[in-house]
Amino acid sequence: MSAPHKPRSGSLAFYPRKKAKRETPIFRTFPAVEGGTKVLNFLGYKAGMIHGIGRNEHQKSVSFGQMIYIPCTIIECPPIKIIGVRVYGKGLVYGSAVLGEATLDKAGKHIRRKIRNFKQKSKKREAKEESKEAKYTTIDMLEKLLGKATDVKLLAESQPSMADFGRKIPDVFEIGMNGNVNEKFAFAKDKFGKEIRVADVFQEKQFIDVKAVDKGKGMQGVVKRFGVKTQRSKAKTRRIVGSIGPWKPRTVMWTVARPGQMGYQTRTELNKRIMRISSDTSKINVPEGYKLYGEVKNDYIVVAGSVPGPAKRAIGLRFSVRKNVNDSFNVADLVFIGTRAKDKKLEGIQVDAKAEKVVVKKEEKKQHSSVDDEIRAAAKTGAAGNEKK
């Protein structure tokens, strides 16, 4: 009897811990969403964090019905522009392959700095388009491929030039849709060359997944990278691993903590709740602007909790793949109070309260009388009574 095939057990989790290949987050998996053909992902830029107060509506929570403190992340979402449509089919061996794609004939000046084919076509490409070997380059020609197609996706560009943090070159990414191939192609044909806003994709109180490249910390040792306990003070070197492996066989297992790259790795966090979607920037902008970012000028979403990556980092947003079973984070009536304790609204409340206390104390001092005054008043009342008699 042959030995049973058993792949390795357990998950490698975040291994290998190396730098991300690209900074623009890309989603390859999308959930099935009901309610017609929809766009399933978006892209925004992390501005910073604020704190808010909201009423807890989770019935099994200890603080049910009370106002709780909520740290929130501001993600600015300028409108994205659809610049192309891509049709996928079956690959030669496995997986999928691109059958054809169509892009805009004339793109904006910022996208031309990233994709040079928009700016000037090469002679080789012009010769192919004139010959019979020309690929499907227009959206009407792509319709002939629907019989072989297995999926249709949109090509989109972000517009960071509309924001305030100084970047102009956009991010180019794919957008997934739900439905069958014909429905997706009809939706893509309708949105071709148009803009999509974040309010057209997501709703408030919705759970989403976020994906981004986190903060890079460079080359780090085992103590900071893996939390290894330091050696005693008498040891020659303190911030090392005690033993990295045996003498025989002479090998170092991958499970042994080793120094190397820390951070700047792609991370996906599931089930982040959208607390607010709005275009009113006066409610979240601080007077001096967000640190290392500036002011928010476009549509934005407020996500409860933290999001991977520093300020200005591109954040991928997607419909939640894993269902939130217990619905533990349920907060309503969110009230923002700013990024500091010295917010204008709070200062006004504190000043009014102090003024009321001062007024009350002054009135009490005016009405207060000393012991001598009480004796004189008693003597006067006694004398007035004797005169009447």
97-142 tens-digit pLDDT: 999 989 888 888 898 888 876 656 667 766 766 655 555 578 888 8
Residue 252 has pLDDT above 90, yes or no: yes
- How confident is the model over 276-292, as a mean pLDDT? 91
pLDDT at residue 339, rounded to an integer:
55
Please, which pLDDT band fits residue 383 given cuts at 50, 70 and 90? low
pLDDT tens figures, 183-204: 999 999 999 999 999 999 999 9
Average pLDDT for 334-363 = 48
The residue length of the chain stands at 389
Q: Measured between alpha carbons, how far is 80 from 170 in angstroms, rounded to an integer?
A: 10
What is the number of alpha carbons within 13 Å of residue 70 lying toward its C-beta? 29
The residue-averaged pLDDT of 64-70 equals 89
- What top-level class would CATH report for the domain 41-217+263-340? mainly beta
Is residue 160 classed as helix, strand or coil in its secondary structure?
A: helix
The pLDDT-based confidence of 340 (bands split at 50, 70, 90) is low
Answer yes or no: is pLDDT of 247 > 80: yes
Least confident among 39-43, 207-211, 305-309, 351-355:
351-355
* Mean pLDDT, residues 285-308 taken together: 93
Tell me: pLDDT of 230 over 90: yes
> What average pLDDT score do residues 338-352 get?
46
| pLDDT for 346 | 44
How many Å from the N-terminal Cα to the C-terminal Cα in the chain? 130
* pLDDT value of position 217: 95
The domain ranges of the chain are 41-217+263-340, 218-262, 345-380
The pLDDT, as a whole number, for residue 61 is 85
79-97, pLDDT tens digit by residue?
999 999 999 999 888 889 9
Q: pLDDT value at position 347?
A: 40
Which two three-digit tokens encode residue 86?
């891509």
Q: Could you tell me the CA-to-CA distances from 176 to 86, 156, 291, 338 in Å, in that order?
A: 11, 11, 33, 35
pLDDT at 27 exceeding the cut of 80: yes
Give tens-digit pLDDT for 208-224: 999 999 999 999 999 99
Confidence check: pLDDT of 360 > 70: no
Give the separation between CA 82 and CA 196, rounded to whole angstroms. Answer: 8
- pLDDT surpasses 50 at 300: yes
Q: What is the band of 367 on the pLDDT scale with cuts at 50, 70, 90?
A: low
Residues contacting 231, CB < 8 A, separation 6+ = 237, 238, 239, 240, 242
Give the angle 260-265-269 at the CA atoms, nearest 5°: 135
Mean pLDDT value of segment 167-192: 94
**What pLDDT score was predicted for residue 267?**
94
What pTM, to 2 d.p., does this model score? 0.80
- The β-bridge partners of 101 are 86
Class for the domain spanning 218-262: few secondary structures
Q: Scanning the structure block, which residue is given the tokens 């009370």?
A: 66
Q: Which range scores top for mean pLDDT: 3-7, 41-45, 47-51, 68-72? A: 41-45
Q: Which residues fall within 8 angstroms of residue 75, CB to CB, at 6 or more apart?
A: 44, 45, 46, 47, 300, 301, 302, 303, 307, 315, 317
